[in-house]
A and B are shown apart, each in its own frame.
Chain A
Amino acid sequence: MRRGQLSLTVVEAAVGVVLVMGVAAGFTAVSAGPPSSTTQLDTLAHDAGTVLAAEPTEGGHDARLVALARSGESFAEVRTPVRERLAALLPADVLFRVRTPHGSFGYPQPPTAAVGSATMPTRHGPVTIWVWYG
Chain B
Amino acid sequence: MRAQTNLVALVLALVLVTGAAVVGVAVADGALAGADREPLDRHAATAVADRLVADGSPTTVRANALDAAAVAELNASRVEALAPPAEEAALRIALDGEPVVERGAASGGATVRRSVVVVNRTGNARRTIDIADGATGRVPRGVGRAVVDVDPGPNTTVHTVRADGRVVLHDGAGLDTNATVHLFRYEPTTVRIETDPNATGRVAVTYPRRVVETHTLTVTVDA
Name which of B4-12, B67-75, B101-109, B200-208 contacts chain A.
Answer: B4-12
| A4 CB within 8 Å of chain B | no
> In the assembled complex, which residues on chain A have CB atoms less than 8 Å from the CB atom of B2?
1
Query: When the two chains form the complex, which single residue of B20, B23, B65 contacts A51, counting CB atoms closer than 8 Å?
Result: B65
Q: Are A44 and B31 in contact (CB under 8 A)?
A: no
| B64 CB within 8 Å of chain A | yes
Classify the interface of chain B: helix, strand, loop or mixed: helix
> In the assembled complex, which residues on chain B have CB atoms less than 8 Å from the CB atom of A23?
24, 28
Q: Are B64 and A51 in contact (CB under 8 A)?
A: yes
Q: Are A13 and B115 in contact (CB under 8 A)?
A: no
Could you count the A-B residue pairs with CB atoms below 8 Å apart for me: how many are there?
98
Classify the interface of chain A: helix, strand, loop or mixed: helix
Expressed in whole angstroms, the Cα–Cα distance for A32 and B102 within the complex equals 35
> In the assembled complex, which residues on chain B have CB atoms less than 8 Å from the CB atom of A123?
none
Q: Are A16 and B16 in contact (CB under 8 A)?
A: yes
Name which of B34-42, B87-95, B143-151 contacts chain A.
Answer: B34-42
| B187 CB within 8 Å of chain A | yes
In B188-220, the 8 Å CB interface with A consists of 188, 214, 216
A residues sitting closer than 8 Å to B (CB atoms) are 1, 7, 9-10, 12-14, 16-17, 20-21, 23-25, 27-28, 30-31, 35-36, 40, 43-44, 47-48, 50-51, 54, 56, 59, 61, 88-91
B residues sitting closer than 8 Å to A (CB atoms) are 2, 5-6, 9-10, 12-14, 16-17, 19-21, 23-24, 27-28, 30-32, 34-36, 42, 49, 53, 62-65, 112-117, 141-142, 186-188, 214, 216
